[in-house]
């Protein structure tokens, strides 16, 4: 069965927020990726990161409790992203198989908007994003290495 984890978006202060959460919950970050680390970001026509955005967080995760993971990223104004109350979170689903990922993605995106089609991601997951017909943002991920 898939697991569900909260995914938060911040307007540039993800690192500060997550250091605060880490001080409360304890533990260690299992991932910290910055926008500057995204392969192909330099010289890519579709991605024009502002100099002040390169150090911002593309993805961070902090395990909390028994199997839950709090995750987040910084929204980038240069990419047309602006987070306000109501659109500053997504529900992240970590599926147990590629087939389960596709079934969940297809079901939840029906009547909604696919914001990133399912595809292999550079970090080793099968990943996609959509906003459902009710305006809820969903992230879908199947980690190819989880069953090894």
* CATH number, domain containing residue 26: 3.10.180.10
Task: Output the pLDDT for position 57.
Answer: 94
State both tokens at 18: 């997550």
Task: Output the pLDDT for position 88.
Answer: 66
How far apart are alpha carbons 137 and 15 in whole angstroms? 22
Per the structure, the complete domain to which residue 126 belongs is given by 3-143
Residue ranges for the chain with pLDDT beneath 50: 43-45
Task: Output the pLDDT for position 40.
Answer: 63
> Are 116 and 127 within 8 A, CB to CB?
yes
How far apart are alpha carbons 14 and 102 in whole angstroms? 29
Whether 29 is in a domain gets the answer: yes
Task: Output the pLDDT for position 116.
Answer: 95
CA 50 to mean position of chain CA atoms? 20
Task: Output the pLDDT for position 13.
Answer: 86
Task: Output the pLDDT for position 12.
Answer: 85
State both tokens at 51: 């100099």
Task: Output the pLDDT for position 44.
Answer: 46
State both tokens at 46: 């579709």
Whether 47 is in a domain gets the answer: yes
| Interior angle at CA 67, CA 94 and CA 128, nearest 5 | 15
Structural domain count, the chain: 1
């Amino acid at each position: 069965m898939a697991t569900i984890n909260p995914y938060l978006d911040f307007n540039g202060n993800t690192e500060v927020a997550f250091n605060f959460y880490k001080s409360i919950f304890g533990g260690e970050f299992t991932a910290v990726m910055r926008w500057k680390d995204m392969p192909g970001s330099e010289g890519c026509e579709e991605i024009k990161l502002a100099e002040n955005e390169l150090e911002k967080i593309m993805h961070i995760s902090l395990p909390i409790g028994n199997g839950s993971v709090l995750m987040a990223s910084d929204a980038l104004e240069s990419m047309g992203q602006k987070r306000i109350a109501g659109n500053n979170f997504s529900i992240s689903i970590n599926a147990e198989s590629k087939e389960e990922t596709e079934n969940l993605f297809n079901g939840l995106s029906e009547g909604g908007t696919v914001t990133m089609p399912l595809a292999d991601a550079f970090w080793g997951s099968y990943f996609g994003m959509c906003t459902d017909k009710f305006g809820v943002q969903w992230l879908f991920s199947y980690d190819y290495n989880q069953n090894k």
